[in-house]
Structures are given as C-alpha cells and as structure tokens.
Structure 1
Amino acid sequence: MTKLSVNINKIATLRNARGGDVPNVVEAARKIESFGAQGITVHPRPDERHIRYQDVRDLKPVLTTEFNIEGKPIQQFTNLVLEVKPAQVTLVPDAEDAITSNAGWDTIKYESYLKEVISEFQKHGIRTSIFVDADKKMIEGAAKTGTDRIELYTEQFATDFAKGKEDSAKAYAECAGLAHELGLEINAGHDLSLDNIEYFKKAVPHLAEVSIGHALISEALFMGLEKTIQQYLKFLK
C-alpha cells in the first residue's frame, strides 16, 4: 500500500486567518492520525504564513506516525530539522515569495549543494527526499546526490488528467521506474486529489508515499475529514 501523509498547512492557514489557536494544528494532526493517515507533513516557510516553526516543535512529541518536514534548506530551516529530527525531510527549491511549490530541483546544477545538505541530514538519521519534476535527467541527477527518495512534482499530471489526456501519467511512470532501478524510493505530491489519485496510483509503479494537503482539506469541507481520509486510503491500496 502507498502511504498517505497529510499536509496540514491549510489547517494552520485557517487558524492564522482569525488569530488565536482555532483550529489547533496539534489536535488536527492527532485526529488525522486516528482516521488512518500514515504520516503528517508540514511545510514551514520563512514568513510563517501558515505552519509556524513552533508548530513543528509542538507536533514532534505527540505524533505517532511518520513526520515529514518540507522546505528549502536555508540555515533557519536546516537548524529546525536537525533540532526536531523528523522521520523524513523533503527538500523543495521554493522561492521565498512562492504561494506554493512550483518547480522541482535542477539536480544537475545543484548536485554538490544537495549532496552536502543531504549528507548532513542523513548523519542525524533523517531520511531525505528531494522534490523533482518528471524528467529522467533530473532523476539521474537525484541519484548522484545520495538522497534516499525523490518526490515527483505532480502538478503537470493533475493538469493533463483534468483535460482528459490519456498519457497524463506516462512520464511519471517512466521516471518512477528509472528511480527504482537507481535505488531510490518514490514519493509524489502536488495537486493530487480524489479525482485523480486512484488513476495515478494504478499508473505509477513503486509509489511509497503521497503527500496531500490542499485538495484533501478542501474535500473534507464537504465530506468530512474522516470520510475523506478513508477514501484516499481506499484508492491507495
């Protein structure tokens, strides 16, 4: 079964919009785990516009599933990850003003940089994953960095699938196959939803984990959080 890690950034966005501590992100994470999700993902950004650095610290001691922290490895982020020591860190090349992640790493251009960062995290027992586009050259480059996993950036898949393109997952399946051959495990995320996750799961081999936040929380507004998570788990079996 492909594991489901739920990104709770949108829970924090809702809290921050009003001020105070409602909804509480720690309580939300506990509920999500109790509903069957196998992981919790957060993506703190330097401006803390949704998940705050203190949220990350508060979550670590109470989570019972895998904790995945995403972000660009600036010094502030690196220090936080080394302090908290999650199960996994996912490196994302975010611009500081990005609304959401919008590109994978150029693993060829940044090979030496990524090697250094990944080595530091792995020395502390933290599994590493790097965010990449469905491009075989970037997959080959990722393997040279020493990372444990890649996370396929799936926005293009979601766009093509919505347009009814028959080969919407072809490049992702090929890249997943290559990554597996190169000894990498495969995660995926961005714009995956109940509309497309079943197709993606069936089309893409060796899929270890998906990280889903915006769509899942949006769907839960209509279906309820527990029912939404259960539906994802059904599709991921």
Structure 2
Amino acid sequence: MTKLSVNINKIATLRNARGGNVPNLLQVAKDIQQFGGQGITIHPRPDERHIRYQDARDLKPIVYTEYNIEGNPQHNFIDLVLECKPTQVTLVPDAIGAITSSAGWDTVSHKSYLTEVVQEFQRNDIRVSIFVDPILKMIEGAKEVGTDRIELYTEAFAHQYSLGNKGGILPYVEASKLANDLGLGINAGHDLSLDNIQFFKQNIPNLLEVSIGHALISEAIYLGLENVVNMYLNKLK
C-alpha cells in the first residue's frame, strides 16, 4: 500500500491568520495519525508564513509515524533538519517568496551541490528524497546525486487529468519505470486529490508515498478530516 503523508501547512496558515493557537497544529498532527495517516509533512519557508521553525521542533516528539520535512536546503533549513532528525527530508528548489512549489530540481546542473547536501543528511540517518519533474534525464541525475528517493512533481498530471486527458500520466509512468530500474524509491506530490489519486496510484509501479496537503485540507472542510484521511487510504490500497 502507498503511504499517505498529510501536509499540515494549511493548518498553520489558518492558525497564523488569526494569531493564537487555533487550530492547534500539534493536536491536528496527533489526530491525523490517530485517523490512520501514515506520515506528517511540513514545508517551512524562510518567512515562516505558515509552518514556523519552532513548529518543526515541537512536532518531533508528536509524530510517531513518518516525519517528512520539505524545503530548499539553505543553511537555516539544513540546520533545522539536522536538529529535528525527521524520517525523511524532501529537497525542493523553492525560490524565496514562492507561493508554492513550481518545478523540480535540475539534478544535472546542481549535481555537486545536491550530492553534498544528500550526503550530509544521510550521514545523520535521514532518508533523502529529491523533488523532480518526470524528465528521464533528471531522474538519472538524481541517481547520480545519491538520493534514496525521488518525489515526482505531479502538478502537470493533475492539470491534464482535470481536463479529461488521462494521457497526462504517461510521462510519470515512464519516469517511475526508470526510477525502479535505477533502484530509486518513488514518492509523489502536488495537486493530488480525491479525484485523481486512485488513477495515479494505479498507474505508477511501486509508489511508496504521497504527500497531500492543500486538496486534503480543502476537502476536509466539507467532508471532515477523519473521513477524508480514510477516503485517501481506501484509494491508496
């Protein structure tokens, strides 16, 4: 079964909009795990507009499933991850001030830098995943870097699927086949939702984990958090 890691950034966004501690981020993380979620993902950004660096520290003793911290491996982020020692770190090439992730790594041009960062995390027993587009050259580059896993950036698939074009899955199928051949674990995330997750899962061989935040939290407003978590789990079986 593909694991579901729930990104709780949007819970932090709602909390920060009003100040105080409602909704309680730590309680939500506990609840998601109790409801069956198999991981908690956060993506702190330098301006801390949703997840704060202190949140990452506070979540460490709370998350007893898989703890995944995403972000651009700048110095402050690297220090935070080494302090928290999550199960997994996902390296994302976010520009400062970006609203959300918009592209995967160029693993060829950034080979030297990524190799150094990956090795530092692996020396500290932290599994590393690199955010990539479904481009074969970039997946080969990820293998050269030495990462444990890749996370396929799925925005293009989700957009095409919403238009009724199921052929948008094909680059991801080819990318996953190559990743499997190279011995890379496969994660996926970005714009995956209850509408498209089952189709994606059925077509990607050996999909280990999906990280879902915006859609899941939005769906939960109407359907309830516990219900939505279990709806995803059923589709990922």
TM-score bucket (shorter structure):
over 0.9
- Per the alignment, residue 102 of structure 2 pairs with 102
Is 2:1 aligned against 1:4? Answer: no
Is 2:167 aligned against 1:142? Answer: no
- Per the alignment, residue 47 of structure 1 pairs with 47
SS in 1 for 2:86: coil
Cα deviation, residue 63, structure 1: 1.2
Instruction: Please tell me the root mean square deviation across aligned C-alpha atoms, in Å.
Output: 0.4
Q: Partners of 2:198 and 2:133 in 1: how far apart?
A: 20
Is 2:117 aligned against 1:117? Answer: yes
Deviations 1:116-174 (A, max 9, x none): 00000000000000000010010000000000000000000000000111311111011
- Per the alignment, residue 158 of structure 2 pairs with 158
- Per the alignment, residue 33 of structure 1 pairs with 33
Q: Partners of 2:57 and 2:116 in 1: how far apart?
A: 24
TM score, norm. by length of structure 1: 0.99
Is 2:229 aligned against 1:229? Answer: yes
Q: Partners of 1:206 and 1:111 in 2: how far apart?
A: 25
- Per the alignment, residue 172 of structure 1 pairs with 172
Instruction: Kindly indicate whether the alpha-carbon contact (under 8 Å) linking 1:177 and 1:206 is maintained by their aligned counterparts in 2.
Output: no
Counterpart of 2:41 in structure 1: which amino acid? Answer: T
Is 2:194 aligned against 1:188? Answer: no
Cα deviation, residue 23, structure 1: 0.5
Q: Partners of 2:129 and 2:173 in 1: how far apart?
A: 18
SS in 2 for 1:134: coil
Is 2:24 aligned against 1:24? Answer: yes
Counterpart of 1:122 in structure 2: which amino acid? Answer: Q
Counterpart of 1:92 in structure 2: which amino acid? Answer: V
Q: Which moved more, 1:163-172 or 1:98-107?
A: 163-172
Deviations 1:50-92 (A, max 9, x none): 0000000000012110000000000000000000000000000
Cα deviation, residue 4, structure 1: 0.1
Q: Partners of 2:215 and 2:166 in 1: how far apart?
A: 22
Cα deviation, residue 203, structure 1: 1.0
Cα deviation, residue 95, structure 1: 0.2
Moved over 3 A (4+): none
- Per the alignment, residue 83 of structure 2 pairs with 83
Q: Partners of 1:61 and 1:44 in 2: how far apart?
A: 18
Q: Partners of 1:217 and 1:162 in 2: how far apart?
A: 19
Counterpart of 2:29 in structure 1: which amino acid? Answer: A
Counterpart of 2:73 in structure 1: which amino acid? Answer: P
Identity of aligned residues (%): 66
Deviations 1:84-103 (A, max 9, x none): 00000000000001100000
- Per the alignment, residue 72 of structure 1 pairs with 72
Number of equivalenced pairs: 237
Counterpart of 1:13 in structure 2: which amino acid? Answer: T
Instruction: Kindly indicate whether the alpha-carbon contact (under 8 Å) linking 1:169 and 1:200 is maintained by their aligned counterparts in 2.
Output: yes
Q: Partners of 2:166 and 2:78 in 1: how far apart?
A: 40
In the alignment, structure 2 segments of 5+ residues that lack a partner are none
TM score, norm. by length of structure 2: 0.99
